[in-house]
Structure 1
């Protein structure tokens, strides 16, 4: 980022968006404009805040005026319970929001849009999956959110092909780290486990599922670095990249690692009746390595330690 650029971060008060804002705010050649909606803004130097409802076309038109780069981290997200019980909450708003942003970015000559997709379109597998391993078959519990993401990827590719705005779609794995959701109603597996371990008063925790489900887990700083690399290095009009740690960790292993890093003596019970996603998945990220010079930098155990240190500072002081 050699010349000063105006970067709009949508979803700036969320987990991914906040980490991006905090990182970019230290870039001397970057003017950061952060979008807030329902969650209040946070104090961060060198950041200008705007309030907008990104499902409203007029608001999108207003906040994208004069912007060079859009990092689109706004989304309706939640954990396994909602994916199983209320899957529709991840479809309509996300489709409308991104449709407005992509079209408006093109209309206003925005240089580059970085968009966060996901990996739920991939089948369960015991081998690392590349971007070409999407077969067109999506697991029933992911049908709505999965096809919404695929549609948005194709829309991004369409607008990129018109030649005015560059687009990047990041199929990232499960992200963890500072500013994640740690309340048990909305958190993902990692955040929920951290909260259970750090707040257990009787030396016991209950983990949803059987513990054999496997996840590819990536520390948030590595995802933020990928955004920076996409902006710096992507040469093609459209880039679709797997972004993950490249290794599958069984939930039981993850829980045991978090307990060990916490220094607490905790007994685990697995509740097979609770909602869980019975898949195993990890990513081949060779394309990101070769095209944008990105690879994960944070060792999983070190990421756990950093997350617990942050949790203690923010919730136990």
Structure 2
């Protein structure tokens, strides 16, 4: 579908944008990637980077000109600490960017527009996996109220462009669980829990602090699997029909850490649980049966395999081999 096509990936310096742009050029696409504050993490002869502030409508029009498809990966994102103290950081800029990029894409007659929503927008479902039709049956979790409603509004905008106007534009909406892997944010101020734990294990931190109780349950999907699902969704879906993308089961934060310690052979780690630090909701699971039926998608990468790939990539990318060798010697 994408071979030879001109594809815009917004937020191409970020975690999901980098991985999607990388896959697209590998499949033969000509990719234009937008950058704002971040630098490129990946280079390719068919990947052109352009500076843009997507809260500026003129920039949105400029970057989308001449494109066939748009992957909307640009977003202000961060971890529990920022979400707890600055909830509006996830609202205003993202609402503006999403609205303006949809309008610019529509005016440019884009064939398909992909919007990455979030499973954080769902209302509470206890320990039961939540299905797609439940998105608007109640408010999101209080901890995710701001970012949840921002994502919901993005979905409503996608539906308007896809169903409620003359000469509609095809929009594809995916709702990922917790994605992890190479090119993620690993700085502690903005990282999510899996990336933060990965870095702490590699650096052999002592004590190794776990935020929250360690009992929070998440559905973790390796980024290559997520990109597989995104490509299938763009190729398969020809109408507004949001779909959950996840691994299909939950793992406790403390289990993720245990797996990291075992894979990386970090014995006798001094693990300290700190319940005073910000964490989010105790359990969040999503029903992935729709993706299996509609996209013929099932995640293939086990948690142990995905974490091992992430550890290897981090060391190769951040020059951590010498630090590890020194730690073992001590």
TM-score by length of 1: 0.95
1:268-307 matches, within 5 Å, as 268-307=271-310
Aligned match of 2:37: 38
What secondary structure is seen at the aligned counterpart in 2 of 1:207?
Answer: strand
Q: Is the 8 A contact 1:111 1:164 kept in 2?
A: no
**Structure 1 residue corresponding to 2:260, chosen from 258, 261, 264:** 258
Q: Is the 8 A contact 2:180 2:222 kept in 1?
A: yes
Deviation at 1:133, TM superposition (A): 2.3
Between stretches 56-65 and 137-146, larger displacement belongs to 137-146
Q: Is the 8 A contact 1:7 1:32 kept in 2?
A: yes
Deviation at 1:11, TM superposition (A): 0.3
What secondary structure is seen at the aligned counterpart in 1 of 2:256?
Answer: helix
Structure 1: which 4+ aligned runs deviate by more than 4 Å? none
Q: Is the 8 A contact 1:112 1:166 kept in 2?
A: yes
Quick check: 1:142 aligned with 2:144? yes
What secondary structure is seen at the aligned counterpart in 2 of 1:136?
Answer: coil
Cα distance in structure 2, aligned partners of 1:2 and 1:292: 17
What secondary structure is seen at the aligned counterpart in 1 of 2:247?
Answer: coil
Quick check: 1:165 aligned with 2:169? yes
Deviation at 1:66, TM superposition (A): 1.3
Aligned match of 1:182: 186
5+ residue gaps, structure 1: none
Aligned match of 1:126: 127
Judging changes above 3 Å, is the alpha-carbon distance between structure 1 residues 67 and 256 closer, same or farther for their aligned structure 2 residues?
same
1:80-99 matches, within 5 Å, as 80-99=80-99
1:209-248 matches, within 5 Å, as 209-235=212-238, 237-248=239-250
Q: Is the 8 A contact 2:99 2:154 kept in 1?
A: yes
Cα distance in structure 2, aligned partners of 1:138 and 1:40: 33
**Structure 1 residue corresponding to 2:211, chosen from 200, 208, 213:** 208
Cα distance in structure 2, aligned partners of 1:313 and 1:40: 18
Cα distance in structure 1, aligned partners of 2:20 and 2:208: 32
5+ residue gaps, structure 2: 322-330
Deviation at 1:294, TM superposition (A): 1.9
Q: Is the 8 A contact 1:109 1:164 kept in 2?
A: no
Cα distance in structure 2, aligned partners of 1:288 and 1:200: 38
Cα distance in structure 2, aligned partners of 1:127 and 1:201: 35
Q: Is the 8 A contact 2:2 2:27 kept in 1?
A: no
Q: Is the 8 A contact 2:70 2:112 kept in 1?
A: yes
Q: Is the 8 A contact 1:115 1:168 kept in 2?
A: yes
What CA deviation, in whole Å up to 9, does each residue of 1:129-181 have, x standing for no partner? 11122322222221111111111101101100134311111110111000111
Cα distance in structure 1, aligned partners of 2:287 and 2:307: 22
Quick check: 1:10 aligned with 2:10? yes
Q: What is the root-mean-square deviation in Å for CA atoms of aligned residues?
A: 1.4
TM-score by length of 2: 0.92
Aligned positions, number: 314
Cα distance in structure 1, aligned partners of 2:93 and 2:6: 26
Deviation at 1:201, TM superposition (A): 4.6
Judging changes above 3 Å, is the alpha-carbon distance between structure 1 residues 201 and 140 closer, same or farther for their aligned structure 2 residues?
closer
